[in-house]
Structure 1
Amino acid sequence: MNTHLKLAFLRIVKPLVRILHRKGVAVGELNQMFKQIYVEVSEEALLATGERPTTSRIAIATGLTRKEVAQLRLIGADGGHVPTPSYNRGARVMTGWLHDTEFLNAVGQPANLPLQGEKGSFAALVSRYSGDMPYRAMFQEMERVGAVQLDACGQAQLMGAGYIPHADEAEKLSILGTDVAALIQTIDHNVLTQERSQLYFQRKVCYDNLPEAALPAFKQMVGQEGMDLLIKFNAWLATQDGGSHPPADGVGRMRAGVGIYYFEEAVAEQPEERIEDSP
């Protein structure tokens, strides 16, 4: 492993190991997971080139023994980290609430909705964007994660412009699996891509000599303007979504999106240079 790749890997893995350590996951269990992933990736790579993914070929590529590879292939993949059904359904309901004119108020904001009714109600919203899930169950789920509450009139009130499961650690860890993977896949694509026009958008802005007093204002700016931009993107993507707006043409089923996140950390103090006296 070259130095640049090693340093990048260590920076990626350290915060993940911090989470695993906090959850009591031992090194042996993590090592087993890495072996499983190496076998899966090696098999996928062989299939992509039209070669037979034999146990021997995978053993050579991964450095594992044939016995280990055979056992790991029997275990099989777990399907990867994907958002749970409740997250998928809740996000779709919130998307409809944010852009569908039937559920907006006079100034174009998400309206407070009566729970029942054929049109303009929370039940109608859930029916349109969450399939056959009962509206009461959806309300309870969204209330549990802090996305919705009842107002003084007993109507459903949207509590934010993003479906963030504040109170559910399992949902948050599920999002960790999808969002971090999406960022790494974007970077990997850009590393491999030679054609400039085929690069994925990947940008950030960062300063490393900021006073702590500047952070609250910047955090608030990111929260407001970042959400405004995401809502704009969301409104456009919603018009292209095959589930609620079947396209007139086009084939295939693709997943695409944009992520915005805020970060902050303390910068380690650099030791002052010592000035040696001249002899």
Structure 2
Amino acid sequence: MVRPIVRFAIGRVSCSALVQLVREIYVEEARGYLQKENPDRKVTRSALALLCGMDGRAIKAFEDSPERNYAASDVCSEAHILEMWNNDETFLDDGGNPAELLIHGPQGTFQRLVSRAAGRAVTPQTALDRLLESGNVELTDNDTRVRLIDPFYKPVKESEKTAIEAGSLAINRLGRAVVHNTSRVPSTQPTWLQQDRWSFRIPKDRLDIIRTEVRTILERHIIEMEQYLESEEKRPSEDSEHSVGIGWYYWEESSPTDVRSPGNMS
């Protein structure tokens, strides 16, 4: 359950930022859990500390700033490097603009910038490669200096935003089904349908055909479900209404022998 989230976060959100977000959400969800378990009792920090396995001071810090907004520089080192370059006087020219920096050297260089913004474990070449790839910087003066082109690092491409938003909603809704089915209160509540179907014996040369045919089958079912839900909608809208939905997704995975082979990725 955790591994797919980590796979998605790599290259977009740093480990430290992800852990911080998880800790904040854990405290919030733990409070909700305790309130639901005993509606008439006040939720104490002691109870939260026991349930979360966290220090009470950390819990207080999270709850004292529940609506913290994260900037890009808070969640990835690349953005922090660019922010420091754009704002720290050490790396500005006489006009107050980001200076062209020598790549190597102890003071006022790209090496120094990376060390201060990302830590000594990150080499200037590693950071430079990432920022060149993202189009934020370019090399000058026979590749001995680096110039800032775009001060805004974008860990998520514009072309990825729609898929990420849709995927995030789908993960959230699937999570609701799992939580409902594992913690029904009262226990007499019916489970929500949650099923998958798959086969481990699909020939590789059939994948393109299967992808097309599965999409056709699911699109037909999507239309059928849209028509059904529309027929059940009440008009005009009322406050007592509920949201009801169905999800569809397709997945595939290479066999273990394919994963070990050069040039193949799962």
TM-score by length of 2: 0.56
Identity of aligned residues (%): 20
Q: Structure 1 pair 257/78, CA: closer, same or farther in 2 (3 Å)?
A: farther
Asked whether 1:234 is paired with 2:226, we answer yes
Paired residue secondary structure (1:257)? coil
Asked whether 1:37 is paired with 2:37, we answer no
Distance 1:260 1:74 in 2: 39
Q: What residue is the counterpart of 1:217 in the other structure?
A: 209
Q: What residue is the counterpart of 2:243 in the other structure?
A: 255
Q: Structure 1 pair 167/33, CA: closer, same or farther in 2 (3 Å)?
A: closer
Distance 1:78 1:224 in 2: 43
Q: What residue is the counterpart of 2:16 in the other structure?
A: 28
- C-alpha RMSD of the superposition: 2.7
Q: Pick from 6, 9, 18 the counterpart of residue 7 of structure 2.
A: 18
Distance 1:16 1:215 in 2: 26
Q: Pick from 161, 166, 181 the counterpart of residue 190 of structure 1.
A: 181
Q: Is the 8 A contact 1:40 1:77 kept in 2?
A: no
State the structure with bigger RCO (CA 8 A, min sep 6), 1 or 2: 1
Asked whether 1:266 is paired with 2:254, we answer yes
Q: How far did 1:253 drift?
A: 2.8
Specify every segment of 5 or more residues in structure 2 that has no aligned partner in the other structure, as ranges. 70-156, 259-266
Distance 2:189 2:45 in 1: 38
Q: Is the 8 A contact 1:36 1:72 kept in 2?
A: yes
Q: What residue is the counterpart of 2:163 in the other structure?
A: 172
Q: What residue is the counterpart of 1:63 in the other structure?
A: 53
Q: How far did 1:251 drift?
A: 5.6
Paired residue secondary structure (1:35)? helix
Task: Kindly provide the CA deviation profile for residues 187-212 of structure 1, in whole angstroms up to 9, marking residues without a partner as x.
Answer: 23223359687121122211112111
Q: What residue is the counterpart of 1:54 in the other structure?
A: 44
Q: What residue is the counterpart of 2:112 in the other structure?
A: none
Distance 2:232 2:59 in 1: 42
Distance 2:230 2:34 in 1: 37
Paired residue secondary structure (1:59)? helix
Paired residue secondary structure (2:57)? helix
- Structure number with larger C-alpha Rg: 2
Q: How far did 1:62 drift?
A: 0.6
TM-score by length of 1: 0.54
Q: Which amino acid is 1:16 matched to? A: I
Aligned residues: 168
Specify every segment of 5 or more residues in structure 1 that has no aligned partner in the other structure, as ranges. 1-11, 80-165, 271-279
Q: Which amino acid is 1:47 matched to? A: Q
Paired residue secondary structure (1:266)? coil
